[in-house]
Amino acid sequence: MTDATAPLELKEQPGGRVRFYGIWLIAAVALIVLPLVFSSGGSLTSFSLIGIAIIFALSYNILLGQTGLLSFGHAVHYGLGGFLAVHVMNAVANYNWPLPLPFIPLFGGIGGLAFAIVFGWVMTKRAGTVFAMITLGIGELVASSSLILRSVFGGESGITTDRTALPHMFGWSFGPQRQVYYLIAFWVMVSAIAMYALTRTPLGRLCNAVRDNPERVEFIGYDPHVVRYFAYGFAGFFAGVAGGLTAINFEIANSAYLGATQSGFVLFAAFIGGTAYFFGPILGAILVTYLQLGLTDLTTVWQLYFGIIFIGIVMFAPGGIAGLLMMHRPLVRAGSLATVIPSYLVAALPTLAFALGVILSIETVAHYTDSEGEGSVVHLVGIPFDAVKPTTWLAAAVLVVVGFVIARLTWRRVTEAWDRAATIARDRGYLA
Amino acid sequence: MSELIVISTLNGVLFGMLLFLLSSGLTVIFSMMGVLNFAHASFYMLGAFFGYQLTRWIGFWPALVLAPLLVGVVGMAVERYGLRNTHRHGHVAELLLTFGLAFAIEEIVSMIWGKSPVDYRVPTALDFPAFTVFSTNYPAYKIFMLAVSVSIFVALLIVLKRTRVGLIVQAALTYPTMVGHLGHNVGRVFMVVFGVGSALAGLAGVIAGPSLVTQSDMASLLGPILFVVIVFGGLGSLPGAFIASLLIGLIQTFAVALNGSLASAFGPLDPGLGPSVLTDIWNVTIAQIAPILPYVLLVLILIVRPMGLLGTRET
């Protein structure tokens, strides 16, 4: 999984091809081995959710990262895929069609694709901000319509299904979560390979060109509108696959799958992970799903932390986590990374203090207003703080203010160290 | 029937003027800075909650002035410390920043004031029926809302058309870079315009709060409609935003008041058909489809006239 969109490397590494296939092979082995290492029911459920999120986030990145289309309504494809999958599953069970469960996500994909084919032509007429607004409006339209068309979408309660009622395959009933996990893992691998291959086709390259300079694309004889339409269709298809897998995983499809929350989730996942690299959304999907599952137990205001992390990434690291990691690659190759490390370590302490201060402030306010009825004591890194005591407020304020002031000074030094390291890398020909 | 028409027209114009209080700020900000402010509806919500809190502390009338000012300060801070730093990463990053802000503001509001509606009441001085149309008492507070939004509209018109500041803003709508070349401090103009736009949204929140429901999801309910308004009117066109605001205000209000469906017009379908998409569509009332009407309009205008009603720019 090398970068799909970064500029060409200045110096080619030897054995690049071996490394390239090696990474995919390692990913496949990891997917197979994971449930053997962590075999508890909870971790199997988490892995299944993460796998679905990976497909969903990668499909979103076909739009945002590769074609430069910001969509606020990507969950429409995901949800419609889920609904079509559920209806097909019920039909298979009712009419005894010889269609085993592993093929169902394909129908999910068709559901997502069908919507993209019908509405995509009008929607992709324009790019940029207008496209973003249109996807938002269409998203709301579909989400509200799903509540009106009760016979198809099942109203508030949704439509349920039974995945074990379908014909078995290799003697698997797909009742146990482990078998569902392997089904999801298979589709994660297939979809990831397909989407990566897509970035390497002429169409994938044209998508990048449309993102960077649509006018020049027109001059060489392509219609950016058509390219955007194709990208939208592929993104819709894979989002539908993810939706179909969700329907299999939960054995239900409801109107929440289509809604703005789901669209926001995939945007967060893709952007936090980093949209400029193919593997960015994978990192983002893993992190965001993991946070979502982990934070809900710890705090009532976990969504606020999501928002803050997202704002932080947008403001200070628009390349996302993948962008931050790949920034260091030329330094590692040039061997100048050691110049930066000490300044990172110095900056880490006040930054951590600032972060703790922010967390303490948020938790203090949350427990002070006590909208969830959890009492006024905040537990942070093992220390109990009482939200109604002024000392807690003072501690939070001191951490935030002092942490911020010192962190700013140390980050200035990080910038200086970074410039020195980058100069070395440039001199040695590893950085443009 | 004529009673329904009169009341719905009044309510529709009122809702339309409220929408315009919001969409005017959004349009001016978009035209000048190229930023579609996703958090605009959140400023409206902040206005409502600040208004509620200040009303409890110091009374409605001081709150009517102070709450929008506070929201304006929040807006200026967002522009100065958020958007200005994000600008170099491009418009998508700016849009995403405001998207994250909208998300965070909703969470902060529900953290502080809870997820259920707060008890934001009409001030007692305005809590009486203004006049009676047919048999319906029309509340004085709604007339007050109408008066406030109309006077803001007139004030905005005068400022934009008759003053030097308005001239600069108008020039920046069409030629943003040229205004900078002419030596105006574009950064400060942006900050002030963003602040004023947010303050107007805040004002809309303060006056709409007691009449509508003041709740932490009010921003996410109104936000998408707001975007429909400005895309429908044509991005960057103030007159377009005005027409679209009134149109969508009227359409939604009339739709909510009408209870007809295809079944009531042409008689019920044969019950032997069983539940299907057709019966769903046949039985749905106009009131039920009111929430999706703005989005249907959006799709229609995109097919017929992609640049919006009065829009001229292709961006």
Distance in angstroms (rounded) separating the CA atoms of residues A241 and A238: 5
Task: Say which range, A231-245, A267-281, A398-412, B277-291, has the weakest mean pLDDT.
Answer: B277-291
Chain A nearest C-alpha distance from B94 (Å): 8
Mind giving me the DSSP string for B184-219?
A: --HHHHHHHHHHHHHHHHHHHHHHHTTTS---TTHH
Distance in angstroms (rounded) separating the CA atoms of residues B71 and B46: 7
CB-based contact, B275 to chain A, within 8 Å: yes
- Scored b (16 or more CB within 10 A) or e, A123-137 reads bbbbbbbbbbbbbbb
Residue B271 has pLDDT above 90, yes or no: no
Percentage of residues in chain B with pLDDT exceeding 90? 19
Distance in angstroms (rounded) separating the CA atoms of residues B98 and A72: 13
Residue B163 has pLDDT above 70, yes or no: yes
Please give the pLDDT value at position B98: 92
Q: How many CA atoms lie less than 13 Å away from A317 in the CB half-sphere?
A: 17
Residue A59 has pLDDT above 90, yes or no: yes
Chain A nearest C-alpha distance from B232 (Å): 10
Please give the pLDDT value at position B202: 93
Q: Which two tokens stand for residue A172?
A: 């698997």
Residue A376 has pLDDT above 80, yes or no: no
Average pLDDT over residues B306-315: 69
Q: Which of A76, A130, A262 to mutate to test the interface with B (most CBs of B within 10 A)?
A: A130
pLDDT category at A246 given cuts 50, 70, 90 is very high
Residue type, B227: F
CB contact under 8 A, B295 and A371: no
Please give the pLDDT value at position A98: 83
Nearest to B86 among A125, A149, A315 (CB): A315
Distance in angstroms (rounded) separating the CA atoms of residues B62 and B51: 9
Q: Which of A60, A142, A304 to mutate to test the interface with B (most CBs of B within 10 A)?
A: A304
> In chain B, what residues touch A258 (CB-CB under 8 Å)?
none
A68: region left, alpha or beta (phi > 0 left; psi from -120 to 50 alpha): left
Please give the pLDDT value at position B101: 92
CB-based contact, B300 to chain A, within 8 Å: no
Please give the pLDDT value at position B274: 64
A 344-383 → B contacts, CB under 8 A: 362, 365-366, 369, 371
Give A325's contacts (C-beta < 8 A, 6+ positions apart): none
Angle subtended by helix axes B218-233 and B238-257, to nearest 10: 120
pLDDT category at A400 given cuts 50, 70, 90 is confident
CB-based contact, B183 to chain A, within 8 Å: no
Residue-wise pLDDT tens digits, A294-325: 887 777 788 888 889 999 999 888 888 998 88
Distance in angstroms (rounded) separating the CA atoms of residues B119 and B100: 28
Please give the pLDDT value at position B32: 77
Chain B nearest C-alpha distance from A185 (Å): 31
Mind giving me the DSSP string for A271-290?
A: HHH-SSSTTHHHHHHHHHHH
CA B303, chain centre distance (Å): 24
- Scored b (16 or more CB within 10 A) or e, B200-210 reads bbbbbbbbbbb
Q: Closest residue of A to B313, CA-based? A: A130
CB-based contact, B228 to chain A, within 8 Å: yes
Please give the pLDDT value at position B90: 79
Chain A nearest C-alpha distance from B65 (Å): 26
pLDDT category at A2 given cuts 50, 70, 90 is very low
Give B115's contacts (C-beta < 8 A, 6+ positions apart): A371, B215, B216, B217
Please give the pLDDT value at position A7: 46
- Tell me the pTM: 0.87
Distance in angstroms (rounded) separating the CA atoms of residues B308 and B314: 10
Average pLDDT over residues B222-236: 86
**Segment (H or E) for B132:** strand B129-133
Distance in angstroms (rounded) separating the CA atoms of residues A65 and A208: 8
pLDDT category at A6 given cuts 50, 70, 90 is very low
Average pLDDT over residues A133-150: 86
Is residue B241 a contact partner of residue B27, using CB atoms and an 8 Å limit? yes
Q: Which two tokens stand for residue B186?
A: 């574009």
Residue A9 has pLDDT above 50, yes or no: no
Mean pLDDT across chain A: 85
Angle subtended by helix axes A41-61 and A177-200, to nearest 10: 20
CB contact under 8 A, A132 and B36: yes
pLDDT category at A122 given cuts 50, 70, 90 is confident
Distance in angstroms (rounded) separating the CA atoms of residues B166 and B185: 15
**Segment (H or E) for B136:** strand B136-139
Bridge partners (DSSP) of residue A377 are: A386
Average pLDDT over residues A202-216: 91
pLDDT category at A327 given cuts 50, 70, 90 is confident
**DSSP label of A299:** -
CB contact under 8 A, B107 and A271: no
Distances in Å between the alpha carbon of B26 and those of A132, A365, B30, B85, B96? 15, 31, 6, 20, 16
Q: Which two tokens stand for residue A170?
A: 């290799």
Please give the pLDDT value at position A190: 93
Cα first-last separation, chain A: 22
Please give the pLDDT value at position A412: 87
Q: Which residue has the tokens 């980058």?
A: A422
Q: Which two tokens stand for residue A315?
A: 């403001």
Percentage of residues in chain A with pLDDT exceeding 70? 94
Distance in angstroms (rounded) separating the CA atoms of residues A274 and A1: 14
Residue A14 has pLDDT above 70, yes or no: no
**Segment (H or E) for A378:** strand A377-380
Distance in angstroms (rounded) separating the CA atoms of residues B15 and B27: 18
Residue A64 has pLDDT above 60, yes or no: yes
Mean pLDDT across chain B: 84
Q: What are phi and psi of A321, to 5 degrees?
A: -65, -40
Instruction: Please count the other Cβ atoms lying within 10 Å of the Cβ belonging to residue A345.
Output: 10
Average pLDDT over residues B244-265: 83
Nearest to B86 among A151, A271, A314 (CB): A314
Residue A372 has pLDDT above 60, yes or no: no
Is residue B249 a contact partner of residue B16, using CB atoms and an 8 Å limit? yes
> In chain B, what residues touch A137 (CB-CB under 8 Å)?
224, 227-228, 231, 294-295, 298-299
- Identify the three-state secondary structure at position B130: strand
Nearest to B291 among A144, A264, A271 (CB): A144
CA B90, chain centre distance (Å): 26
CB-based contact, A412 to chain B, within 8 Å: no
Nearest to A304 among B107, B235, B275 (CB): B107
pLDDT category at A115 given cuts 50, 70, 90 is very high
Distance in angstroms (rounded) separating the CA atoms of residues A26 and A20: 10
User: Could you tell me which of A264, A273, A220 has the C-alpha nearest to residue A61?
Assistant: A273
Q: What are phi and psi of A385, to 5 degrees?
A: -120, 135
Q: Which two tokens stand for residue A417?
A: 């160290």
User: Could you tell me which of A135, A89, A136, A85 has the C-alpha nearest to residue A111?
Assistant: A85
Distance in angstroms (rounded) separating the CA atoms of residues B97 and B63: 29
Please give the pLDDT value at position B273: 65
Question: ipTM of the predicted structure?
Answer: 0.86
Contacts 24+ apart (CB under 8 A), A284-292: A284/A57, A284/A320, A284/A321, A285/A50, A285/A53, A285/A54, A285/A56, A285/A57, A285/A58, A286/A50, A286/A53, A286/A54, A287/A321, A288/A53, A289/A46, A289/A49, A289/A50, A289/A53, A290/A46, A290/A50, A292/A265
CB contact under 8 A, B97 and A311: yes
Is residue B211 a contact partner of residue B145, using CB atoms and an 8 Å limit? yes
C-alpha angle B189-B236-B202 in degrees, rounded to nearest 5: 60
C-alpha angle A232-A236-A237 in degrees, rounded to nearest 5: 120
